[in-house]
Amino acid sequence: MPIKIPSDLPAFDVLTREGVMVMDPDAADRQDIRPLRIGLLNLMPKKIQTENQFARLIGATPLQIELSLIRMSEHQARNTAADHMESFYRPFSDVAATGEKFDGLIITGAPIEHLDFDAVTYWDELREVFDWTQTHVHSTFGVCWGGMAMIHHFHGIRKHMLDQKAFGCFRHRNMVPSSPYLRGFSDDCVIPVSRWTEMKKAEIDAVPGLVTLLHSDEVGPCLVEDPAHRAIYIFNHLEYDSDTLKQEYDRDIANGTPINVPCNYYPDDDPARPPSNRWRSHAHLLYGNWINEIYQTTPFDIDRIGAPA
């Protein structure tokens, strides 16, 4: 089944060329089925690239998905055309004012990890988003900085600065093979990492109810389940395209920013050779499992989300 997105959103043509099933709203409305409503709170500078990455993953399941793009209310995007933002995004304040509800919400990362959480210009509104998810979203997926911010908000867990950037593709161990989110996962898998901060496994494990699902001996915890808040947090980037780390590396080289060659990414660590994607299958598994868990547990009447059991 397809993902429901506007036919003039750039992701529509991109995913169509890749063979992902997409459907415009008019065609979807003719089907007698309730699509899953998934919101994407996009905090990344390259909005269109991020839209494509997440739409590709959540659009690969056998369910109809209606994707809604959301932005912070006052923060203005500087790397995406204003007409794109005006055409496809709604500010969170408008979404909250309508009282609408979502089966799932993805909160992306943002390149602001060097800042303390409360120094981020939209931190107060983002905290409102986190609290809003508890009454208006059935399941929330926090990604990289978005996941760190959410686990900090609900549990007070700190992020720690690294001496050098964790950058490359790292092996992660499957800590809970019985988890429905890891259905079909290998005992270990390779996941792209690009961050200057980390969460400590010991601090996560010290919080009752939190469960570390994927962990790396080199770069720490990756995927954490938070059942009490109907959330999962991933601190790394299974959604990345094959060349995303290359783009980041080339950008830093061009800007004269000191950066190591991303480890275990290029063949023989040679940036002159094209990188190989070794994480795509697990990316589809994880997001497909998340969508399936939503489908199995969300109320058919979407207005029942957040209502007392």
**Domain presence at residue 13:** yes
Domain for residue 25, yes or no? yes
Quick one: average pLDDT of 81-102? 94
- The verdict on residue 269 lying in a domain is no
For residue 38, the model assigns a pLDDT of: 98
Q: Which of 50-54, 82-86, 101-105, 233-237 has the lowest mean pLDDT?
A: 82-86
227-281 tens-digit pLDDT:
999 999 999 999 999 999 999 999 999 999 889 999 999 999 999 999 999 999 9
Question: pLDDT (tens digit, 9 = 90+) per residue, 15-53?
Answer: 888 766 676 777 656 555 689 999 999 999 999 999 999
- The whole-number pLDDT of residue 80 equals 80
Q: Determine the pLDDT at residue 101.
A: 97
Mean of all residue pLDDT scores within the chain: 92
Predicted local confidence at residue 208, as pLDDT: 97
pLDDT of residue 36: 95
171 domain-assigned: no
**How far apart are alpha carbons 173 and 184 in whole angstroms?**
14
Residue 110 is assigned to a structural domain of this protein: yes
Confidence at residue 5, expressed as pLDDT on a 0 to 100 scale: 82
How much is the pLDDT for 174?
97
pLDDT-wise least confident of 28-42, 163-177, 204-218, 281-295 = 28-42
Position 55 confidence tier, pLDDT thresholds 50, 70, 90: very high
Instruction: Write down the catalytic residue from 136, 138, 229, 237.
Output: 237
Residue 32 pLDDT: 52
Least confident of 28-32, 75-79, 181-185: 28-32
Total number of domains in the chain: 1
Average pLDDT of span 86-101: 96
Residue 207 structural domain: 3-160+197-240+279-303
Distance CA 69, CA 46 (A): 14
Residue 182 to residue 213: CA distance in whole angstroms: 8
The burial of 168, by beta-carbon neighbours within 10 Å (0-12 exposed, 13-18 middle, 19 or more buried), is given as buried
Q: Of these residues, 144, 169, 189, 222, which one is catalytic? A: 144
- Provide the CATH number for the domain around residue 65: 3.40.50.880
Q: Which of 66, 239, 248, 293 is catalytic?
A: 239
Is 198 in the active site? no
- Is 290 a residue whose pLDDT tops 90? yes
- Is 179 domain-assigned? no
**Local confidence band at 309 (pLDDT 50, 70, 90 cut-offs):** low
Residue 81 lies in a domain: yes
Task: Give residue 78's pLDDT.
Answer: 75
- E-state strands within 120-237: 137-143, 160-174, 188-198, 211-216, 220-226, 231-234
Cα distances from 135 to residues 225, 290, 306, in angstroms, run 18, 19, 4
pLDDT at 23: 67
- 260 domain-assigned: no
Q: Which pLDDT belongs to residue 17?
A: 80
Write the CB contacts of 279 (distance below 8 Å, at least 6 apart in sequence).
169, 189, 190, 191, 192, 238, 240
pLDDT at 2: 59
**Residue 237 annotated among the catalytic residues of the structure:** yes
The answer to whether 66 is a known catalytic residue is: no
- CA end-to-end distance (rounded Å), the chain: 30
